[in-house]
Chain A
Amino acid sequence: ETGVTQSPTHLIKTRGQQVTLRCSSQSGHNTVSWYQQALGQGPQFIFQYYREEENGRGNFPPRFSGLQFPNYSSELNVNALELDDSALYLCASSPAPTGFGYTFGSGTRLTVV
């Protein structure tokens, strides 16, 4: 049973650029949730994807968008990067869209300069 894999592990982008982060869900999981963890803070819910559709969103602007693919992997896209977007982005897969049974990846550390 494979866990949740996120790529890349680290990246540095310039303000105004766009970035795509990727997440492979755990085998048997059909739901992917994305969280942003700023330095010294707890994770904040960005959105959740279930069966290739967004079915929940936190308090994040539309420049944060995502996709889920038929194999349940997912992408997080952020346009027009701002300095405050610098954070650890965590992907969590789960067997259902309930908030239970999360398996988290190790995260992608995004630095915006």
Chain B
Amino acid sequence: DSGVTQTPKHLITATGQRVTLRCSPRSGDLSVYWYQQSLDQGLQFLIQYYNGEERAKGNILERFSAQQFPDLHSELNLSSLELGDSALYFCASSVAGGGPYEQYFGPGTRLTVT
């Protein structure tokens, strides 16, 4: 158990819909990262927040947005969903905002868009 929790575990929704994925970091960690893992793909870095502020941005689509709240939990919002958005979405946390500090990954949320 990494200490990072993600809800829900599974999500099935239709194209065009909007969903919110939630992540609670390990106690004491200030950074939250979001990743997408599609079938046969590596992990794609989406975005990082550090202590409530956006720190780094990867290949995140404009239809996707994220935020980190004062209690440090984070939400990833996916809108106008397409079939290609079906993937495993991971959240990770680390104590620091930069550098190769160890990231602790949650178990992921599996999103299926039908």
Q: Do A and B bind each other?
A: no
Which residues of A does B touch, CB under 8 Å?
none
